[in-house]
Structure 1
Amino acid sequence: MTMTSSDKLRFGVDLVTFFHPGFWGVDGYDGIIAHSRAQPRAFWDKILDSVQASGVTGVELTFSPFNWQDAIKTYGSVEAFAAQLSSRGLQLASGFFAELEAAGDFTKPSAQTAIIDKAERYADFLTACGSDVMVIGAPLRQTLGARPVRFHDFEQARKIADFLNRLGAVLHAKGVRLALHTEAHSIFAAARDVDLMMLLTDPAYVHMCPDTAHIIVAGSDPIQLVDRHHERMIIAHWKDALGPMPADTPIDEHIHDRHRPYFCGFGLGRVDWPAWIRLLRDRGYQGWAILELDAAADPVHDIANGLTLVRQALLPIYR
């Protein structure tokens, strides 16, 4: 079975999928970074060749060494990177922007100015490569029981939403749409938190990138949650998870490493994929579906297997 434009879904992969030492034949994540710096062209060529070999057609850039600055530095220009994608039949689906999580207290005017400047430059890159979606990670929550307590209440959410509205308007002027990513242990993953942020942000400027696995890890149901806000979804991360993480999980610089044991291959976890594809069909969703596996040891095989599942079991339902 081959996919056609009538399927209305386009499949891509987030480059975090390639963040596994075994794929690169190195010891540890520091080894990946060292390899990317020592042999940047070989590093990026292997990534793009692997995406092509997996069968998907879209790429979502993410943190360094898989970010847009690294791509430009490696190939020499935005145009040269775009040409590398095109020569392999690939498109830039989207770019992940992680600056909110790293900014600390971004409610300060100086921090907001710096974030907007970075986002504008990123938006220029995205549009030059033919993409119009910037996926943005939300700030992390506080570990349960930590002192002093910081409540994520209405007033705090309102401050964050105000900035997201303004950032969304800035990006819109650049031809790029802001999509909030449902990152587990952030202020935008569990059902109540997503409902609150969707209520407070302007749907004209702030959209949604649901991640099925992260919603499950956060203890919520991705089908019910996304159905409530389906009109805000402009891109989606398709990933499976084994179940929710403990409520007292420490939320610190290692939280993303703690997530990984809870993620699993497509069809092996809690995501009800037939219900998911029926939801997208019934709500008329069209756009990118980003198949994502955090740090897969054999990413080409795993992505190809996921795509096979989609083609054989899900696309007939969607049609």
Structure 2
Amino acid sequence: MAVDLVTFFHPEFWGVGNHGDILAFAESKPELFWNKILDTVAAAGLRGIEPTFSPFNWQHAIKTFGSVAGFSRAMEQRGLTLASGFFADLEHGSDIADPAVRSKLFDLVKAYAEVIAACGGDAMVVGLPMRRTRDAEPPLFVDLPYAQRIAEVINELGALTLRQGVKLALHTEAHSVFCTSRDVDLFMLLTDPLYVGFCPDAAHLLGSGADPVVVTTRHIDRLVVAHWKDATGVMPFDIPIDASIHDSHQAYFCRLGAGRVDWPAWARMYRDHNISGWAVLELDAAADPLSEMIASRQFVETTLLPIIG
């Protein structure tokens, strides 16, 4: 089991007042920042991490530890490894049809894939662009022409990461263009399975009105890594999609086993399809991440592993 580092994006854990203060803390005390994260993950009994957005990203880690080797060594000293890496730059990015934007994007993905491979990982989880709020003008229609433009870029990115030994997997982010059951089917159809895989997030799928087990089973042959996260119910589609959208999501997420995801069915899916690999436990912005990670790990070990076998 691993954890996505968004888990640590709560001001209370850092003894500060707001998210901006977390960024300032990371810049002023980078060694303390990263050592506290890695020590807490190890103390929770997990074995991997998934870097995410700044300051919990790979660039900040490498800058802090001096090199890729230094970052890898810091993990190894605690019995940890880099399970996968989350790439968030597409979610709120610029127009990928712009050649300059695409060139920068490809360079960044290549560099990240090299880091993931060097640190023992083999998967890059990619979030697709966010939708627009439903009453926005002009509206954004996620139709076939739109999806084809995005899929062309994703296919090329998948081929690029594969050359570094890293598999690309699309993440089901709520309120993105890849969140509903239909969205997943559309982009799975338009991307090449030889180059593009799937990272279902159980909470984001349920929050988007989909059945996580049904959707994941339908594309089980594309499964690369999964985010094991729980949700209390379906989120309104009319939530404003702006810089605060991820904060809005947090009200619907909860500890593994405390929500409405059918985890026994999820475990049977893993068993029946002989799925193995990393389970990334994601707990958005936990005030007490140590206790939350331990509780989630214990839920998996006592309730789900006996089913999976």
SS of corresponding position for 1:207: strand
**One-letter amino acid of the counterpart of residue 288, structure 2:** D
Partner of 1:170: 160
**Percentage of identical aligned residues:** 54
Q: How far apart are 1:102 and its partner, in Å?
A: 2.8
Q: Which residue of 1 aligns with 2:260?
A: 270
* Aligned counterparts of 1:173 and 1:318: Cα–Cα separation in 2: 32
Match of 1:209 among 196, 199, 204: 199
Query: Shift in Å at residue 130 of structure 1?
Result: 1.2
Per-residue deviation, 1:174: 1.4
Q: What amino acid maps onto 1:94 in structure 2?
A: S
8 Å CA contact 2:175, 2:237 repeated in 1: no
CA distance in 1, matches of 2:234, 2:35: 36
Q: Which of 112, 136, 146 is residue 122 of structure 1 equivalent to?
A: 112
Query: How far off is 1:104 after superposition?
Result: 2.2
Contact 2:92 2:130 in 1 (8 A): no
Equivalent positions of 1:176-195 (< 5 A) are: 176-195=166-185
Mapped pair 1:65 → 2:55: yes
**Letter of the 1:138 counterpart:** L
Which AA in structure 1 matches 2:190?
L
Distance 2:75 2:232 in 1: 34
Match of 1:288 in 2: 278
Give CA deviations for 1:18-63 in whole Å, capped at 9, x if unaligned.
Answer: 1111111111111111111111101110000000001110110011
Q: State the alpha-carbon separation in 2 of the partners of residues 117 and 63 from structure 1.
A: 17
Aligned residue among 293, 298, 306 for 1:303 = 293
Structure 1 residues without counterparts, runs of 5 or longer: 1-10
In the TM superposition, what whole-angstrom CA distance separates every residue of 1:89-108 from its partner, at most 9, and x where no partner exists? 00100111111113221122
Equivalenced residue count is 309
Query: Which residue is 1:199 aligned to?
Result: 189
Q: Does 1:89 align with 2:79?
A: yes
SS in 2 for 1:134: strand
| 1:241 equivalent in structure 2 | 231
**Alignment partner of 1:220 is 2:236:** no
Counterpart Cα distance in 2 of 1:301 and 1:78: 30
TM value normalised by structure 1:
0.95
Query: Residue type matched to 2:187 in 1?
Result: M
Root-mean-square deviation (CA, aligned residues, Å) is 0.8
TM-score between the two structures when normalised by the length of structure 2: 0.98
Q: How far apart are residue 151 of structure 1 and its match?
A: 1.1
3-state SS of the aligned residue for 1:34? helix
- Hey, what does 1:39 align to over in structure 2? 29
- Say if 2:90 is the partner of 1:100: yes
SS in 2 for 1:101: coil
Q: Report the residue type matching 2:86 in the other structure.
A: F
Structure 2: runs of 5 or more not aligned: none
Partner amino acid, structure 2, of 1:153: D
